[in-house]
Amino acid sequence: MTVFLIRRLMQAVVVLFAMSLIVFVGVYAIGNPIDILISPEADQLERERAIHALGLDLPLWEQYFVFLQRALTGDLGRSFAFGAPALQIIVERMPATLELAVAAMGISILVGIPLGMWAGFRPESFGGRAIMAGSILGFSLPTFWVGLMLIMVFAVHLGWLPSTGRGETVEVLGLQLSIFTWNGWTHLLLPAFNLALFKMALVIRLTRAGMRENLLMDYVKFARAKGLSPGRVIFVHVLKNIMIPVVTILGLELGSVIAFAVVTETIFSWPGMGKLIIDSINQLDRPVIVAYLLITVSMFIFINFVVDILYSVLDPRVRLKEMKS
């Protein structure tokens, strides 16, 4: 197990390194950092000085080295728009995004798994077909448009829920969270549901496919031949087999939920990282863009790493294989 962990950790470091290179080349080499980092009003002398100060006169590989060195010490540059360290600006907005993402994930699991199980158990029934039709719709609905429709129906027409911003927050373990206040929930519900919709469709499909596939397996018939109740066969034997792929894929999807929060946050004016990156792209606030990309990528690698471990814990077959190798 330790060998497995170390190997995965090393892979993660390599990926992170590669990504930093890509982001660096993308932003600093393809784009012209001089135009972006230096005020257009600066005169020639000021420009020269700034170029030197920023190290832009160095060869590219040296620039990368400097960039990497500074990145490792947590210095990802200062935002032009906020005049504050990019890293700090992003970290401040991270809890809001994570809260939204986790809430969306929770909704998609709580709704998706039961629906998917039903659809897989009775694929020909009206309910089963309706659930599947719903999941195709869930896949096809563009997230941003659904967001607009949710606002239109629940905020504008019915006036039940607020359409923008985050509600009251409470500080828990140093994080500003809104799930502990009623007002916070009312603000969270629409964006979380919006973000959950796509994953819900995915969960439904995965669960349904797993259900259908597993129900045909001999082990199900054998379990029934043992005289087990249908409840035990489905909720213990089949569900445990389904959960392995579902949990793995969902874990991997957590990253994608965080990334897709970009859209939801923009629509609902949710003050998270996603709204920040869109604003930054529009304002060409490159240090923030770079910082966002690096942080998101690191988060991704971390999530993938955790999922890998989780997967091996869940599936006894993988556990053994990995330990042997």
Q: What backbone torsions phi and psi does residue 173 show, to the nearest 5 degrees? A: 50, 40
Q: What backbone torsions phi and psi does residue 85 show, to the nearest 5 degrees? A: -55, 135
Q: Which stretch binds another protein (CB under 8 A): 34-42, 45-53, 71-79, 250-258?
A: 250-258
Q: Tokens 């045909």 identify what position?
A: 216
Site string for another protein, 35-64 (x = CB under 8 A): ------------------------------
Q: Restricting to residues 295-324, which ones interact with another protein according to CB under 8 A?
A: 296-297, 300, 304, 314-317, 320
Q: Which stretch binds another protein (CB under 8 A): 66-74, 108-116, 172-180, 234-242?
A: 234-242
- CA-derived radius of gyration, the chain: 24
240 forms part of the interface with another protein (CB under 8 A): yes
256 forms part of the interface with another protein (CB under 8 A): yes
Residues 6+ apart with CB under 8 A from 57: 51
246 token code pair: 């579902």
3-state SS class at 170: strand
155 token code pair: 């905020």
123 burial level (CB within 10 Å; 0-12, 13-18, 19+): middle
Q: In the complex, what is the shortest distance from the CB of residue 282 to another protein, in angstroms, rounded to a whole number?
A: 6
Site string for another protein, 194-233 (x = CB under 8 A): -----------------------xxx-xxxxxxxxx--x-
Q: In the complex, what is the shortest distance from the CB of residue 110 to another protein, in angstroms, rounded to a whole number?
A: 22
Q: Which stretch binds another protein (CB under 8 A): 22-30, 33-41, 68-76, 171-179?
A: 22-30
Q: Are 85 and 290 in contact (CB under 8 A)?
A: no
Kindly tell me which of 47 and 122 has the beta carbon lying closer to another protein: 122
Site string for another protein, 133-152 (x = CB under 8 A): x--xx-xxxxxxx--xx-xx
* E-state strands within 105-257: 170-172, 175-177
| Cα–Cα separations (whole angstroms), residue 21 to 16, 26, 36, 268 | 9, 8, 20, 33
Q: Tokens 């439904």 identify what position?
A: 204
Handedness of CA 165, 266, 108, 306 (dihedral sign): negative
Site string for another protein, 94-133 (x = CB under 8 A): ---------------------------------------x
120 token code pair: 């897989």
Binding site for another protein (CB under 8 A): 15, 18, 22-23, 26-27, 30-31, 133, 136-137, 139-145, 148-149, 151-152, 155-157, 163, 217-219, 221-229, 232, 236-237, 240-241, 244, 252, 255-256, 259-260, 262-263, 266-267, 277-278, 281-282, 289, 293, 296-297, 300, 304, 314-317, 320
